[in-house]
């Protein structure tokens, strides 16, 4: 006689997933069309059918540590072909948002980042930090003057780094703690569902697997396999490489300043400035294309977490370019104001990324590496 199990649905979990965009999950009647239609779903234990069933039953423990919710790239093929309109892609996206909030601590900040009512408070935090620290240290100059407009005369480079470096360290610490728990849960889930026969994770083997998936991420191969939203891959790639380019620029200027003691502003003929400008333009155009694509998909659920990331990316790109062009045009007051806004957005990017949709860059990369490591195709 088969063993019997008592299933106690977590109603609170179901309600949270519904709020995050998975409101159509109960329409699913387990036809498996989604799992068959998905071009990137593994042959063994394919998704998202099992995730739809577990969500309907409120089986939180089967979902939060499930690496499969991160393998999904939300291309929309499953939602388009679903005969019941259950929108599996939106449900999986909602599960990812919930998982980020679970792994990122403090949880109060995670909830605030995904609550539109808290946006004014979140926006005020960096402004207050910069003003208070700047006034206390004397590194903030409200009347920089001079013939040449230099942002560092307004916001000292020391002040910026004094605030940004601990903020970045905070984000790294949050991710490190979250990933430690996520990897353990993902492995336990894989063993439970028979997705791997490896009893323990070998660090060396996992790192090798991570290296193997990097080209796939850089090329956006998984996006190209999708059919419904294939065009989204180009816009997503522009945003991805925009962030990557600006990350390289920031670190390059940091090294040049503190190692080689060379201060800006730098010539527009400097190759690193070229990279900064190209990356900024790529970020702006990619963000606008993603906004257009999301707004045109009336049947796709769009939530606050989606728009928060898009507006943040667009704001970063626009303020960075405007701060530069207004400086070159000699518009001192406007340039200093825009630079201040830009710094607030950069701080928000660092501090809020582990709690926002952008965290998928880290969690999805780790999940893809684990799939490669486990040998599951």
C-alpha 158/C-alpha 118 separation (Å) is 30
What does the pLDDT read at residue 1? 45
Judge whether 290 and 232 are in contact, CB under 8 Å.
Answer: yes
pTM here is 0.91
Confidence of residue 89 (pLDDT cuts 50, 70, 90): very high
Q: Which CATH superfamily is domain 11-103 in?
A: Alpha-helical ferredoxin (1.10.1060.10)
Mean pLDDT of 203-221: 93
Give me the chain's average pLDDT, please: 91
- Residue-range domain boundaries for the chain: 11-103, 107-374
Q: What's the CA gap between 64 and 58, in Å, rounded?
A: 11
Tell me the C-alpha to C-alpha distance, in Å, between residue 124 and each of 131, 196, 316: 11, 46, 16
Residues 255-299 pLDDT 10s: 988 888 887 778 888 899 999 999 999 999 999 999 998 888 877
Phi, psi of 236 (to 5 degrees): -65, -40
pLDDT in tens, 314-371: 999 999 999 999 999 989 889 999 999 999 999 999 999 999 999 999 999 999 999 9
* pLDDT category of residue 4 using cuts at 50, 70 and 90: low
**Residue 10 pLDDT > 80, yes or no?**
yes
Write out pLDDT tens, residues 148-199: 788 888 888 899 999 999 999 999 999 999 999 999 999 999 999 999 989 9
């Amino acid at each position: 006689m088969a063993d019997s199990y008592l299933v106690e649905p977590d109603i609170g979990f179901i309600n949270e997933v519904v709020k995050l965009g998975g409101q159509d999950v109960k329409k699913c009647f387990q036809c498996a069309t989604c799992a068959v239609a998905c071009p990137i779903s593994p042959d063994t234990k394919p998704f998202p059918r099992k995730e739809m069933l577990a969500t309907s039953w409120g089986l939180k423990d089967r979902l939060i540590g499930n690496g499969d919710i991160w393998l999904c790239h939300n291309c929309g093929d499953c939602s388009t072909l679903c005969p019941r309109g259950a929108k599996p892609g939106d449900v999986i996206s909602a599960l990812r948002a919930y998982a980020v909030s679970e792994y990122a601590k403090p949880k109060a900040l995670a909830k605030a980042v995904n609550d539109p009512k808290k946006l004014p408070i979140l926006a005020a935090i960096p402004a207050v930090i910069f003003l208070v620290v700047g006034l206390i240290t004397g590194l903030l100059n409200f009347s920089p003057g001079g013939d040449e407009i230099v942002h560092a005369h307004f916001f000292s480079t020391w002040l910026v780094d004094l605030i940004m470096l601990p903020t970045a360290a905070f984000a790294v610490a949050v991710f490190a703690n979250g990933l430690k728990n996520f990897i353990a849960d993902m492995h336990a889930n894989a063993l439970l569902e028979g997705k791997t026969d490896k009893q323990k994770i070998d660090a060396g083997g996992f790192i090798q697997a991570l290296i193997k998936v990097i080209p796939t991420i850089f090329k956006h191969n998984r996006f190209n396999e999708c059919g419904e939203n294939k065009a989204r891959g180009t816009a997503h790639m522009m945003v991805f490489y925009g962030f990557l380019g600006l990350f390289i620029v920031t670190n390059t200027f940091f090294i040049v300043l503190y190692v080689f003691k060379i201060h800006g502003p730098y010539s527009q003929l400097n190759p690193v400035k070229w990279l900064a400008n190209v990356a900024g333009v790529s970020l702006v155009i990619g963000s606008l294309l993603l906004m257009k694509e999301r707004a045109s998909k009336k049947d796709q659920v769009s939530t606050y977490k989606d728009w928060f990331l898009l507006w943040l990316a667009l704001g970063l790109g626009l303020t960075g370019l405007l701060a530069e062009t207004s400086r070159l045009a000699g518009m001192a007051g406007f340039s200093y104001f825009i630079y201040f806004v830009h710094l607030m957005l950069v701080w928000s990017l660092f501090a809020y990324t582990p709690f926002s949709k952008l965290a998928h860059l880290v969690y999805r990369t780790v999940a893809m590496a684990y799939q490669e490591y486990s040998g599951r195709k």
